[in-house]
Every structure is written in C-alpha cells, then in structure tokens.
C-alpha cells in the first residue's frame, strides 16, 4: 500500500521531498495534474472537478493515504474528499497558526504569500479570522512563482527581479515571519532569504504536514510498509519517459541544495 501525493503540478514535490526524509521506507505515487496546472487563476468549480478526478484515480491505485500537497486544492476540496473516502486525506494550509502565535509575542506582523485562489478562499479567511485577533496578518499573491516552478525556472536573474518588485513595498522592520503558502514557493526559499532581512523567519507547511501524515499512519499501524519505491503520474498517465523522470529528479536535487 502506497502513499499518494497530489498537486496541480510540481509544487507537491516539495512535500514529497520532506516525506522522503521523514518516511524513506514508504512507497509513493506522485500525481501532477499537468494538463490543468495552474489551479490558482481558474474558477473554483472547475478546479474542484479536476481535483475530484485526480484523487479518484489515485485512490484506485490502492493507496493507504492521500496527501493533498497543494494549498489551493486543500482550500477548495478537502471537506468533500474526506467525506467521500474512508482512507486518510491529509490536507495542507498556509502555516498561519505557528506564524501568528510566534509573532503575537513580539507584536510583529506576518506576511502570508500564496496563490490568488487560496488567499480569497473561505477556508483561509476563516482561519485568519479565528487566529488573527490583533490583525497582524497581511496577504500577498505571487502567481508567477507557480509558473516559474512549472517551467523549472530557478535562475536568480529571472526570479529575483520579480520577487524584489513584489516585496519592495513592505517596511520589514514591522515584520518577523513570511509564510510560503503555496508548495511551489518552497523551491524559492533561498531567493526569499537573499531579499529579506536576516531576522525574518521563512516558513512553510511541508514539515508539519508530513509529521501529521506520519502520526496518522502510526496510529493506524500502517507505517513503513514499503521499500522507497516512487512512481510518477501526470494527469492519469504514468511517467516513463527518461526526460520526464529526469525532470523530477532535478526538482528533488534542487530542494537538496536549498540550505536555509
């Protein structure tokens, strides 16, 4: 029984990378919905249909859990998926809670970055309303980072000017934490680090999500049932071409190289 990891594209590779570190002896299916990426700019009902079809396919592959390694997909569909399937469906959400709890002590602000759809979804808005009593959370959509990651564009000459332009309007003396609320964004942690003051914490939800997965499997007595086998699918088609497999290898290697 394998673990399914789903994303609209390559962003969930950042979650897979963390899973391979914490749970190296599991078997994995990674499903990228490459025919429909990106989800962020699309209408909610259209995205919900893509997610439903993808997760149905993954569950048919005899998985013991599915990680929705996409903040947008989680915000749009997680409740419906959990109601429909009897295996664990692990969702993701921007790491607002730890950021707010940490920053409240110092009376500093939090910047949550994500896709436009995640930022306007009711799930995130309700989370912020519940946690942010002191109104210290600001929101910033960074849609181009999704496009860059899907194109395997990690050149500082291309990405840094975009990030610099988007981040330049903030007085960073009032901030302490930046939340990377889209799994694609974690490919660019090192570039955020180059642009942000040293005292700014940069966090994502990947480690916490995999810890939750690990705890859920342990409670079900379903940990460590594999051998580290990894299979990739793109919109329902198994990836077997060497060039495509090499692409995923490059993405995992990219994450190995980010040390912050």
> Any catalytic annotation for residue 70?
yes
> Any catalytic annotation for residue 182?
yes
pLDDT at residue number 215: 97
Catalytic pick among 32, 70, 145, 203 = 70
Catalytic pick among 142, 146, 149, 182 = 182
pLDDT at residue number 100: 93
pLDDT at residue number 225: 81
Percent of the residues in the chain that have a pLDDT greater than 90, as a whole number: 84
Asked if pLDDT for residue 219 goes beyond 90, the answer is yes
pLDDT at residue number 121: 86
pLDDT digits (tens, 9 = 90+) for 153-211: 999 999 999 999 999 999 999 999 999 999 999 999 999 999 999 999 999 999 999 99
Rounded to whole angstroms, how far apart are CA atoms 176 and 42?
A: 32
pLDDT at residue number 260: 60
pLDDT digits (tens, 9 = 90+) for 86-143: 999 999 988 999 999 888 777 799 999 999 888 988 889 999 999 998 899 999 999 9
Asked if pLDDT for residue 223 goes beyond 70, the answer is yes
pLDDT digits (tens, 9 = 90+) for 1-40: 899 999 999 999 999 999 999 999 999 999 999 999 988 8
Q: What is the pTM of this model?
A: 0.93
């Amino acid at each position: 029984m394998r673990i399914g990891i789903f994303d609209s594209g390559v962003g969930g590779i950042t979650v897979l990378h963390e899973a391979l570190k914490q749970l190296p002896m599991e078997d994995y299916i990674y499903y990228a919905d490459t025919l429909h990426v990106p989800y962020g700019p699309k209408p909610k009902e259209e995205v919900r249909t893509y997610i439903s079809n993808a997760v149905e396919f993954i569950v048919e592959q005899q998985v013991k859990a599915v990680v929705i390694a996409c903040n947008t997909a989680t915000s749009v569909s997680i409740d419906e998926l959990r109601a429909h399937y009897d295996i664990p469906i692990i969702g993701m959400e921007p790491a607002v809670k730890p950021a707010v709890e940490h920053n409240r002590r110092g009376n500093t602000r939090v910047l949550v970055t994500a896709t436009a759809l995640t930022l306007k979804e009711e799930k995130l808005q309700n989370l912020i309303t519940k946690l942010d009593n002191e109104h210290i959370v600001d929101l910033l959509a960074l849609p181009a980072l999704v496009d860059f990651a899907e194109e395997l564009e990690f050149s500082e000459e291309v990405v840094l000017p975009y990030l610099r332009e988007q981040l330049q309007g903030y007085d960073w003396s009032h901030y302490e934490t930046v939340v990377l609320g889209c799994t694609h964004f974690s490919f660019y942690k090192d570039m955020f680090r180059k642009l942000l003051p040293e005292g700014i914490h940069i966090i994502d939800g990947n480690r916490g999500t995999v810890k939750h997965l690990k705890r859920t499997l342990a409670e079900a007595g379903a940990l460590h049932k594999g051998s580290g086998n990894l299979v990739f699918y793109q919109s329902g088609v198994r990836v077997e071409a060497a060039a495509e497999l090499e692409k995923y290898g490059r993405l995992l290697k990219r994450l190995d190289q980010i040390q912050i």
